């Protein structure tokens, strides 16, 4: 698969359409978005890339794991954020890793960590490389960087069918681990949009948002225990379904973004594939009614698997309704029982808030597999990033960001964010669109997810994007939100993250970093500000 | 209320029965337990207590908050563990706090912390004082100890009805905070057995087990944000329903047991009082079938509020059935919808595993309040600790401990723990009983809760108890359990906690302690081993 993976863009390289096709897509997008996308451009081809020579020579014992090819180093220079795509498209790779190492075992991981620690090299853990926050980008000012690509650690090692848990290596991609679990009739139901190209270890250290819109909203809740290689030895928690003994050790790993160690294995909570499903779509004339309906469902204790609200713009773009209206998509799933009472009550509540649920907008089926609307929706969801690559090639600025806030604050936050982003788009792009969906809900609040698009000026896209992104992040923080609900901090959100932290907690986090990784080997500059105030 | 609180025993002092009544209870207990409880003894009366003089003079500005009376100092010397009751009953108070301070505001708390930090005094945060692990016991080797009783911070400060959350001060006792919430038609459904005499802040820092047998098993999940006064300033997290920004700051406070700061406020997730309830009782001929039934219900995604399994001994002692059989108690509650489909499916699953659910053992009611079986059960639950005081006065050794493990390990753990405890009871008491109930369940495991009782020898009870407790704790750890599921670590479990920790996590935790409380002011010797290896 490595040979067909795009260096700069999403997924498989051959999924990037020819110019003619992209041009047609641009016309369609222009009509939809209300501004003209540009003429299709071509990415700098792999064979034209020139990188700074590697500054690092691996020791003999590790050479067989290490690559210094241009392709490998370029493909491990960035994640998949908008500025990553633009820089990759342009062939700009000023700070590639010096070495890309591919361990095949936990011993290899420990040996690589030892080597980097002893040699003063930075080690960047790399799962699928789908970070949208600069989480896998080498530091720009470091003397030597080794990126450790963990996808060789891809096995399901053990399945405990009694406790419904499986021991899985950290480098396994979503489909790779689920194919192995399927042999035991189990499934890890964690499907971030990056699912096909991201790894279990990556999900854990970034607190990835998964499949469930309620209750188990993050991978956090699916983790039973974690095994992590650190400079202070192996950090492995007991397999426990729950515990009250001191602060949770796993919760210190969740969100640590490769700054404390490398997750080599985890025991994960798995489930039988769903046998029953029920879903419904409810339409609203106003956003306020839609949010009220969403809240009513969220506070009823019904725990839908899917509880996704699209505003009218998102509904139009996603073509879920011809007459674009705010649209609430509800879904339940179970391997145990029929879901009629659950979906009926959820629809009742959603309709009582002013929604309309047409007859054809309800489905219930008692078979598994996930055919029908849910399946097409999921396919489209996973295809989304490919469309983004096309828009980048058309010079369009396109990005998303998400947050969370309590219900009482949402109207104000939503208005402030839309207004800040629209103003910035008008200012730097001469226009553009902002839209919102809600991806996860809680009894006490919700996680809105915003998309913005605007016309870029060739060569100035990164500066334009940065100004809009800054406006968005500032607005989120000012309105009481979090800088991220499920896309991590990385380098991109580090300053806003520091701002939203309880002050003494920042001390505590730096103390943990110093205790576990005193040499500062692991992912320097990500999550935690570098010590001594240097720029990384 | 302070005047009528028992110094050594549970709750209200006047709830301790007269000798004659206790003697009759002893005869009843002897018949039930199969061994003879002793003749009733009398606790050393408050007026006979003699304590070491206080070694500490509070500064003038704080004197109005401070007490050095014998009664206050004795009543703040221990929690409510078995050895605490015995020592208190005997009037043994070798290491009382020098001062008991009662802050009335967060400013008072900060001033007390400053004073202790500057003067080299130890500060022991004291909520309701119901710790069963030595969590509020002053260090024995410290030159001066100030116990800060937080019950003056007892207000509900703000209610957000939209987000269903309330800002509550850390010193509020369960009934005190819920009485205030009831004015807004809300409730904090967190009912540890200590509910009437323990505080919100205490629940948070000890990760108390609450009301829900599934999903929201600990207070952890009810916390929206926390405000804590630390030596490094105020640690306050944002109000967020969920976040993926770095490791959770709240999860570092949850379980910190007063070693990092004093929780002055928290935003808690509250609910409307239940309007619908459904419950059922299912009986099993064998423990194995009962556990299988429990697991089936736990893995079906139904999320019962109550899912409590008693073994035959517990069923007999609690008199839930005349013919003692393992007994599964199932309950659902909702403020939103009827629960017929939920309870029907849960009972189906429980019965399919070999259980019997007699006609009269199901109830459904659509009114609130909590009358009926659930209510009587809860009353009995809250009365339990009073019975323990009586048994202590009869010379009986009585204690409980709990753990958690995955389903696959439970048969082995359960057998090993029962056997280790029964052997120890036979050895040190010449007999006794061990019984088990399961209080919380998860898809991947369960939290069993053991009770042991044995005849004590006058004057040797503490040594006898310590040997049984050690056997129990060793067996838990050896079988893969956790040293505590919801009763915290304190001083009592500190060594076993260190043993179950991932090694590097121990470094991390000590680093956090050092960063936040470098002078070691806060609750020294609790949770974290004292530095420099001194005994505390």
User: From CA A240, how far away is CA B445, in angstroms rounded?
Assistant: 7
Tell me the average pLDDT of chain A.
94
Q: Does B511 touch chain A (CB under 8 A)?
A: yes
User: From CA A413, how far away is CA A407, in angstroms rounded?
Assistant: 10
- Looking at chain B, the whole-number percentage of residues with pLDDT higher than 90 is 89
| The pairing of beta strand A145-149 with beta strand A99-101 | parallel
Residues 6+ apart with CB under 8 A from A485: A209, A402, A403, A404, A439, A440, A447, A449, B242, B243, B244
Candidate from A196-200, A362-366, A466-470, B180-184 with smallest mean pLDDT: A362-366
The answer to whether the CB of B317 falls within 8 A of the CB of B435 is: yes
Q: Which own/partner pairs from B465-468 qualify as long-range (CB within 8 Å, at least 24 positions apart)?
A: B465/B82, B465/B83, B465/B86, B465/B397, B465/B399, B466/B83, B467/B424, B467/B427, B467/B428, B468/B397, B468/B399, B468/B421, B468/B424, B468/B425, B468/B428, B468/B429
Q: Which of B160, B237, B501 sits opposite A502 (nearest CB)?
A: B237
State both tokens at B180.
């205030």
Using a CB-CB cut-off of 8 Å, the residues of chain B touching A251 are 247-248, 251-252
How sure is the predictor about B536, in pLDDT bands with cuts at 50, 70 and 90?
very low
Question: Rounded to a whole number, what is the distance in Å from the CA of A41 to chain B's nearest CA?
Answer: 36
Provide the edge-to-edge strand list for the sheet that holds A156-160. Answer: A156-160, A165-169, A262-269, A223-230, A233-236
Q: To 10 degrees, what angle do helices B372-393 and B82-90 make?
A: 50
How sure is the predictor about A240, in pLDDT bands with cuts at 50, 70 and 90?
very high
The answer to whether the CB of B196 falls within 8 A of the CB of B174 is: yes
Q: Which of A163, A230, A505 sits opposite B407 (nearest CB)?
A: A163
How sure is the predictor about A370, in pLDDT bands with cuts at 50, 70 and 90?
very low
| The pairing of beta strand B122-126 with beta strand B145-149 | parallel
DSSP sequence for B64-111: GGEE--HHHHHHTS--SSHHHHHHHHHT--SS--SEEE--SSHHHHHH
CA-nearest of B116, B196, B192 to B148 is B116
User: From CA A65, how far away is CA A61, in angstroms rounded?
Assistant: 9
User: From CA B425, how far away is CA B392, in angstroms rounded?
Assistant: 16
User: From CA A465, how far away is CA A484, in angstroms rounded?
Assistant: 18
pLDDT > 80? residue A449: yes
Q: Does A511 touch chain B (CB under 8 A)?
A: yes
User: From CA B58, how far away is CA B99, in angstroms rounded?
Assistant: 8
Distance linking the first and last C-alpha atoms of chain B: 32
pLDDT > 70? residue A369: no
Residues 6+ apart with CB under 8 A from B57: none
For B483, the closest chain A residue by CA position comes to A245
Using a CB-CB cut-off of 8 Å, the residues of chain A touching B160 are 406, 408
Give me the phi and psi of B406, to 5 degrees please: -75, 160
Element (H, E) at B153: none
Q: Which of B508, B512, B513, B518 has the most A C-beta neighbours within 10 Å, making it the best mutation to test the interface with A?
A: B508
CA-nearest of A168, A178, A154 to A1 is A154
Using a CB-CB cut-off of 8 Å, the residues of chain B touching A301 are 334-337
Give the CA diameter of chain A: 69
SS3 of residue B180 by DSSP:
helix
| Record: contact A502-B218, CB cut-off 8 A | no
pLDDT of amino acid A1: 40
| Record: contact B336-A236, CB cut-off 8 A | no
pLDDT, tens only, A77-117: 999 999 999 999 999 999 999 999 999 999 999 999 999 99
In A89-195, DSSP assigns E strands to 99-101, 122-126, 145-149, 156-160, 165-169
User: From CA B282, how far away is CA A345, in angstroms rounded?
Assistant: 28
For B235, the closest chain A residue by CA position comes to A502
Q: Does B478 touch chain A (CB under 8 A)?
A: no
User: From CA B227, how far away is CA B205, in angstroms rounded?
Assistant: 12
| Record: contact B516-A507, CB cut-off 8 A | yes
Q: Which of B164, B232, B261 sits opposite A444 (nearest CB)?
A: B164
Using a CB-CB cut-off of 8 Å, the residues of chain A touching B487 are 244
Element (H, E) at B228: strand B223-230
pLDDT, tens only, A274-313: 999 999 999 999 999 999 999 999 999 999 999 999 999 9
Task: Tell me which residue has tokens 């405000």.
Answer: B227
| Record: contact A244-B488, CB cut-off 8 A | yes
| Record: contact B515-A527, CB cut-off 8 A | no
Question: Rounded to a whole number, what is the distance in Å from the CA of A73 to chain B's nearest CA?
Answer: 27
Q: ipTM, 2 decimals? A: 0.95
Question: Rounded to a whole number, what is the distance in Å from the CA of B307 to chain A's nearest CA?
Answer: 15
DSSP sequence for A7-45: SSSSSBGGGSPPHHHHHHHHHHHHHHHTS-------PPP
Q: How many residues does chain A have?
A: 536
User: From CA A427, how far away is CA B340, in angstroms rounded?
Assistant: 57
CA dihedral sign, ordered A187, A192, A193, A198? negative
Question: Rounded to a whole number, what is the distance in Å from the CA of A226 to chain B's nearest CA?
Answer: 10
Question: Rounded to a whole number, what is the distance in Å from the CA of A477 to chain B's nearest CA?
Answer: 10
Q: Does A485 touch chain B (CB under 8 A)?
A: yes
SS3 of residue A209 by DSSP:
strand
Question: Rounded to a whole number, what is the distance in Å from the CA of A499 to chain B's nearest CA?
Answer: 11
Using a CB-CB cut-off of 8 Å, the residues of chain A touching B495 are none
Within 10 A of B360 (CB to CB), how many other CB atoms are there?
Answer: 7
Using a CB-CB cut-off of 8 Å, the residues of chain B touching A218 are 242, 244
What ranges in A95-212 are assigned the alpha helix state H?
A: 106-119, 174-182, 200-206
Q: Which of B161, B231, B241 has the most A C-beta neighbours within 10 Å, making it the best mutation to test the interface with A?
A: B241
Q: Which of A241, A480, A501 sits opposite B446 (nearest CB)?
A: A241
Using a CB-CB cut-off of 8 Å, the residues of chain A touching B251 are 247-248, 251-252
How sure is the predictor about A209, in pLDDT bands with cuts at 50, 70 and 90?
very high
Q: Mean pLDDT throughout B349-367?
A: 86
CB pairs under 8 A between A and B: 293
The answer to whether the CB of B279 falls within 8 A of the CB of B362 is: yes
Q: Does B533 touch chain A (CB under 8 A)?
A: no
pLDDT, tens only, B165-175: 999 999 999 99
Q: Which of residues 148-167 of B touch A (CB under 8 A)?
A: 160, 162-165
| Record: contact A444-B512, CB cut-off 8 A | no
Q: Is pTM, for the whole model, over 0.90?
A: yes
Q: Does B446 touch chain A (CB under 8 A)?
A: yes
The answer to whether the CB of B136 falls within 8 A of the CB of B77 is: no
Distance linking the first and last C-alpha atoms of chain A: 32
Element (H, E) at B284: strand B276-284
Residues 6+ apart with CB under 8 A from B195: B174, B175, B382
SS3 of residue B221 by DSSP:
helix
| The pairing of beta strand A66-67 with beta strand A306-310 | unpaired
State both tokens at A80.
């998949």
User: From CA A525, how far away is CA A536, in angstroms rounded?
Assistant: 6
pLDDT > 50? residue A314: yes
pLDDT > 90? residue A360: no
Using a CB-CB cut-off of 8 Å, the residues of chain B touching A341 are 337, 340-341
Give the CA diameter of chain B: 69
pLDDT of amino acid B535: 40
Q: Does A459 touch chain B (CB under 8 A)?
A: no
The answer to whether the CB of B449 falls within 8 A of the CB of B366 is: no
For B447, the closest chain A residue by CA position comes to A242
| Record: contact A408-B160, CB cut-off 8 A | yes
User: From CA B461, how far away is CA A100, in angstroms rounded?
Assistant: 64
The answer to whether the CB of B89 falls within 8 A of the CB of B48 is: no
The answer to whether the CB of A30 falls within 8 A of the CB of A49 is: no
Q: Mean pLDDT throughout B455-474?
A: 98
Question: Rounded to a whole number, what is the distance in Å from the CA of A505 to chain B's nearest CA?
Answer: 6
State both tokens at A235.
């950090």
Within 10 A of A4 (CB to CB), how many other CB atoms are there?
Answer: 10
Q: Which residues pair with B16 in a beta bridge?
A: none
User: From CA A243, how far away is CA B446, in angstroms rounded?
Assistant: 10
User: From CA B467, how far away is CA B422, in angstroms rounded?
Assistant: 12
User: From CA A266, how far away is CA A223, in angstroms rounded?
Assistant: 7
User: From CA B425, how far away is CA B470, in angstroms rounded?
Assistant: 11
How sure is the predictor about A367, in pLDDT bands with cuts at 50, 70 and 90?
low
Task: Tell me which residue has tokens 């070495």.
Answer: A99
DSSP sequence for A418-450: HHHHHHHHHHHHS--EEEEEEEEEETTEEEEEE
Q: Which of residues 216-275 of B touch A (CB under 8 A)?
A: 217-218, 224, 230, 232-249, 251-257, 260-261, 269, 271
Sketch out chain B's domains with CATH numbers: 2-149 (3.30.43.10), 276-368 (3.30.70.3450)
Q: Which of B240, B247, B481 sits opposite A482 (nearest CB)?
A: B240
Using a CB-CB cut-off of 8 Å, the residues of chain A touching B237 are 502, 505
Q: Does A477 touch chain B (CB under 8 A)?
A: no
The answer to whether the CB of A274 falls within 8 A of the CB of A342 is: no
Give me the phi and psi of A44, to 5 degrees please: -60, 125
| Record: contact A445-B240, CB cut-off 8 A | yes
Question: Rounded to a whole number, what is the distance in Å from the CA of A12 to chain B's nearest CA?
Answer: 28
pLDDT of amino acid A391: 95
Q: Which of A186, A204, A244, A481 has the most B C-beta neighbours within 10 Å, making it the best mutation to test the interface with B?
A: A244
User: From CA A310, how far away is CA B433, in angstroms rounded?
Assistant: 60
pLDDT of amino acid A536: 38
pLDDT, tens only, B78-103: 999 999 999 999 999 999 999 999 99
Q: Which of residues 339-398 of B touch A (CB under 8 A)?
A: 340-341, 345, 349
DSSP state of A121: -
pLDDT of amino acid B210: 80
pLDDT > 50? residue A318: yes
CA-nearest of B133, B260, B153 to B194 is B133
Q: Mean pLDDT throughout A319-346?
A: 90
Q: Does A509 touch chain B (CB under 8 A)?
A: yes
């Amino acid at each position: 698969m490595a040979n067909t993976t795009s260096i700069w863009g999403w997924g498989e390289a051959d999924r990037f359409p020819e110019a003619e096709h992209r041009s047609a897509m641009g016309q369609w997008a222009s009509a939809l978005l209300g501004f003209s996308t540009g003429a299709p451009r071509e990415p700098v081809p792999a064979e034209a890339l020139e990188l700074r020579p590697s500054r690092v020579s691996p020791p003999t014992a590790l050479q067989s794991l290490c690559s210094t090819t241009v392709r490998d180093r370029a493909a491990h220079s960035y994640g998949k954020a908008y500025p990553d795509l633009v820089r990759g498209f342009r062939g700009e790779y000023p700070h590639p890793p010096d070495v890309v190492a591919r361990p095949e075992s936990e011993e290899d991981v420990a040996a690589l960590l030892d080597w980097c620690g002893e040699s003063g090299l930075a080690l960047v853990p790399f799962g699928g490389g789908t970070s949208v926050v600069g989480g896998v980008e080498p530091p720009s000012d470091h003397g030597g960087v080794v990126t450790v690509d963990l996808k060789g650690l891809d096995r399901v090692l053990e399945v405990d069918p009694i406790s419904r848990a499986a021991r899985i290596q950290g480098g396994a991609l979503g489909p790779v681990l689920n194919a192995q679990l399927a042999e035991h009739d189990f499934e890890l139901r964690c499907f971030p949009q990056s699912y096909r190209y991201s790894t279990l270890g990556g999900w854990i250290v970034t607190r990835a948002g998964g499949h469930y819109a309620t209750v188990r909203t993050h991978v956090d809740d699916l983790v039973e225990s974690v095994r992590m290689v650190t400079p202070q030895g192996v950090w492995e928690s007991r397999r426990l379904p729950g515990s009250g003994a001191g602060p949770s050790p796993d919760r210190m790993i969740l969100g640590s973004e490769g700054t404390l160690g490398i997750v080599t294995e985890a025991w994960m909570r798995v489930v039988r594939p769903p046998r029953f499903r029920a879903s419904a779509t409810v339409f609203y004339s106003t956003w306020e009614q839609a949010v009220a309906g969403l809240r009513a469902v969220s506070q009823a204790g019904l725990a839908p698997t899917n509880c996704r609200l699209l505003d009218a713009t998102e509904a139009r773009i996603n073509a879920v309704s011809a007459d674009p209206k705010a649209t609430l998509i509800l879904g339940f799933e179970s391997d145990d029982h029929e879901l009629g009472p659950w979906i009926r009550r959820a629809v009742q509540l959603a309709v009582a808030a002013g929604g309309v649920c047409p007859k054809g907008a309800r489905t219930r089926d008692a078979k598994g597999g996930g055919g029908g609307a849910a399946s097409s929706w999921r396919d489209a969801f996973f295809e989304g990033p490919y469309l983004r690559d096309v828009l980048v090639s058309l010079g369009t600025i396109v990005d998303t960001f998400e947050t969370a806030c309590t219900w009482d604050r949402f109207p104000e936050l939503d208005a402030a964010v839309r207004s800040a982003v629209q103003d910035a788009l008008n200012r730097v792009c001469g226009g553009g669109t902002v839209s919102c969906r809600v991806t996860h809900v809680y009894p006490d609040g919700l996680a809105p997810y915003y998309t913005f698009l605007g016309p870029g000026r060739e060569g100035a896209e990164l500066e334009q994007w940065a100004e809009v992104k800054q406006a968005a992040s500032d607005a989120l923080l000012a309105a009481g939100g979090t800088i991220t609900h499920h896309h991590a901090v990385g380098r991109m959100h580090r300053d806003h993250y520091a701002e939203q932290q309880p002050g003494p907690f920042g001390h505590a986090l730096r103390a943990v970093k110093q205790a576990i990784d005193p040499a500062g080997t692991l992912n320097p500059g990500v999550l935690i500000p570098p010590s001594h105030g240097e720029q990384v």
